[in-house]
């Protein structure tokens, strides 16, 4: 399926996005509420009221999930982390926090605040239901459903399997006790996978008991938990591997530089065609001045190549992303992704000492993964 996300607004400087999968679940929630849940509970309501309350309840449900993610994000920002965006998916939301927390206590706070928020909102709707139950049936019906769903959301997220909030809490606790993040992640992931298997087992049990729709849902949630646990663990491993390697180890020192005084014609004839490279660092006496690539050359009409110099079309040094030899793997990946470039000049004191290609980083990860180290 094609995945698309739309930006619907900005809160506290965080982009709020919705994934296309969310629209499906949103329509399904409205459909279930207005077409089945409210008509069963309140058969005497007119159809328009079922749909009105159904849509308003769904919107508030949507707001509750967003509030849960905002709670995580606000605590993260308070701890000095950068939160770029929140994306609402089929199963809730994901807040994109730039870095993983560096202390167990920070992670604990950041993780627990989401379910706490859902719990508080759930209790608040419970109180609203209690106060309005003899005053207004539509309002108390809405409050009752939102109380239930928010408490469910809190409990589901508290399941102690990484990368759910409860799993992050578990990881923070083990991490705090043992001082070993890798061990903590592994144990919390095992817990997540174990719980996922229990879900799938329970779902299968339901199917054999004849309740195949409930069973399928439970199996589906189990499958979701299992894949989330596995991919969460892989991400942690990748981040860890990248933390150990330095730009100086990955870069290649075998590269050709060109002079800024070269004409484009010389560049194409003597470098691009012969060396089969698409871009070249421009350097003068070892000092990096910029990068010129085939794309820059194409911006100039063919007949002007003979008298246009490389320095006139190159991307100048000040506009380039560069790394120093001591930068670690995650910094390298962040720089590569920041401008979506294929290679980075490795610079030390203004001198160009190497070139680092995206493929070098990927190759390193591939080899490390294959060796299982």
* Cα 344 from chain centre: 24
CA proximity to 346, closest of 315, 322, 319: 322
In the complex with Zn ion, which residue's Cβ is closer, 157 or 185? Answer: 157
CA proximity to 108, closest of 170, 189, 188, 177: 170
Task: Pick the stretch among 45-53, 59-67, 114-122, 297-305 that binds Zn ion (CB under 5 A).
Answer: 114-122
Question: Which residue sits closest to Zn ion, CB atoms considered?
Answer: 114
What's the min distance (Å) between Cβ of 23 and Zn ion?
21
What's the min distance (Å) between Cβ of 163 and Zn ion?
10
In the complex with Zn ion, which residue's Cβ is closer, 71 or 262? Answer: 71
Q: By CB under 5 A, how many residues form the interface with Zn ion?
A: 3
In the complex with Zn ion, which residue's Cβ is closer, 19 or 165? Answer: 165
In the complex with Zn ion, which residue's Cβ is closer, 114 or 222? Answer: 114
Q: Contacts with Zn ion in 200-259 (CB under 5 A)?
A: none
3-state DSSP assignment of residue 56: helix
Q: Which two tokens stand for residue 79?
A: 């701890």
What's the min distance (Å) between Cβ of 95 and Zn ion?
8
What's the min distance (Å) between Cβ of 111 and Zn ion?
7
Q: Which two tokens stand for residue 256?
A: 């050709």
What's the min distance (Å) between Cβ of 355 and Zn ion?
41
What's the min distance (Å) between Cβ of 68 and Zn ion?
5
Task: Pick the stretch among 15-23, 110-118, 183-191, 347-355 that binds Zn ion (CB under 5 A).
Answer: 110-118
What's the min distance (Å) between Cβ of 106 and Zn ion?
15
CB 260 within 8 A of CB 310: yes
Quote the radius of gyration of the chain (alpha carbons, Å): 27
In DSSP terms, 118 is beta-bridged to none
Among 101, 104, 114, 345, binds Zn ion (CB under 5 A): 114
Distance from C-alpha of 342 to C-alpha of 239, rounded to nearest angstrom: 20
What's the min distance (Å) between Cβ of 67 and Zn ion?
11
In the complex with Zn ion, which residue's Cβ is closer, 116 or 124? Answer: 116
What's the min distance (Å) between Cβ of 147 and Zn ion?
19
DSSP 8-state code for residue 117 = H
Task: Pick the stretch among 75-83, 113-121, 144-152, 249-257 that binds Zn ion (CB under 5 A).
Answer: 113-121
CB 202 within 8 A of CB 269: no
Q: Is residue 345 at the binding interface for Zn ion, with CB under 5 A as the rule?
A: no
In the complex with Zn ion, which residue's Cβ is closer, 136 or 231? Answer: 231
In the complex with Zn ion, which residue's Cβ is closer, 108 or 356? Answer: 108
First to last CA, the chain: 35
In the complex with Zn ion, which residue's Cβ is closer, 166 or 290? Answer: 166
Neighbours of 334 (CB within 10 A): 15
CB 68 within 8 A of CB 153: yes
Distance from C-alpha of 358 to C-alpha of 351, rounded to nearest angstrom: 21
* Cα 241 from chain centre: 19
Q: Contacts with Zn ion in 157-186 (CB under 5 A)?
A: 157, 165
Which DSSP string do the residues of 226-263 spell out, in sequence order?
HHHHHHHHHHHHHHHHHHH-BHHHH-B-----B-TTSB
Q: Which two tokens stand for residue 239?
A: 């981040």
Q: Contacts with Zn ion in 139-158 (CB under 5 A)?
A: 157
Strands 279-284 and 287-293: antiparallel
In the complex with Zn ion, which residue's Cβ is closer, 114 or 161? Answer: 114
List interacting residues with Zn ion (CB under 5 A).
114, 157, 165
């Amino acid at each position: 399926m094609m995945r698309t996300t739309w930006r619907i607004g900005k809160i506290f400087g965080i982009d709020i996005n919705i994934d296309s999968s969310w629209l499906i679940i949103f329509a399904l929630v409205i459909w279930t509420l207005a077409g089945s849940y409210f008509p069963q509970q309140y058969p005497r309501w007119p159809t328009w009221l079922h749909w009105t309350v159904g849509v308003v309840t769904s919107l508030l449900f949507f707001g509750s999930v967003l509030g849960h993610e905002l709670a995580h994000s606000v605590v993260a920002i308070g701890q000095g982390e950068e939160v770029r965006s929140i994306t609402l998916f089929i199963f809730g939301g994901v807040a994109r926090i730039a870095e993983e927390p560096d202390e167990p206590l920070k992670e604990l706070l950041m993780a627990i605040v989401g379910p706490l928020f859902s719990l508080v909102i759930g209790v608040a709707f419970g109180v609203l239901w209690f106060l309005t139950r003899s005053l207004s049936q539509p309002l108390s019906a809405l409050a009752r459903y939102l109380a239930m769903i928010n408490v469910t959301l809190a409990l589901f997220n508290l399941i102690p399997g990484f990368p759910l909030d409860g799993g992050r809490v578990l990881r923070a606790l083990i991490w705090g006790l043992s001082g070993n993040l890798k061990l903590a992640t592994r144990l919390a992931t095992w817990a997540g996978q174990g719980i996922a298997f229990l879900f799938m087992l329970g779902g299968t049990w339901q199917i054999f008991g004849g309740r195949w729709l409930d069973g399928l849902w439970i199996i589906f949630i189990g499958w979701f938990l299992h894949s989330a646990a596995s991919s969460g663990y892989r991400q942690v491993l990748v981040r860890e591997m990248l933390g150990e390697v330095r730009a100086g180890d990955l870069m290649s020192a075998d590269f050709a530089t060109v002079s800024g005084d070269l004409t484009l014609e010389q560049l194409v004839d003597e470098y691009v065609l012969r060396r089969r490279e698409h871009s070249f660092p421009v350097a003068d006496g070892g000092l990096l001045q910029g990068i010129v690539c085939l794309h820059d050359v194409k911006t100039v009409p063919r007949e002007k190549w003979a008298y246009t110099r490389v320095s006139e079309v190159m991307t100048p040094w000040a506009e380039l992303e560069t790394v120093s030899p001591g930068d670690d793997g995650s910094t390298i990946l962040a720089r590569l992704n920041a401008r979506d470039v294929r290679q980075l000049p490795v610079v030390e004191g203004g001198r160009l000492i190497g070139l680092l290609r995206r493929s070098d980083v990927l190759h390193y990860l591939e080899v490390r993964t294959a060796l299982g180290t």
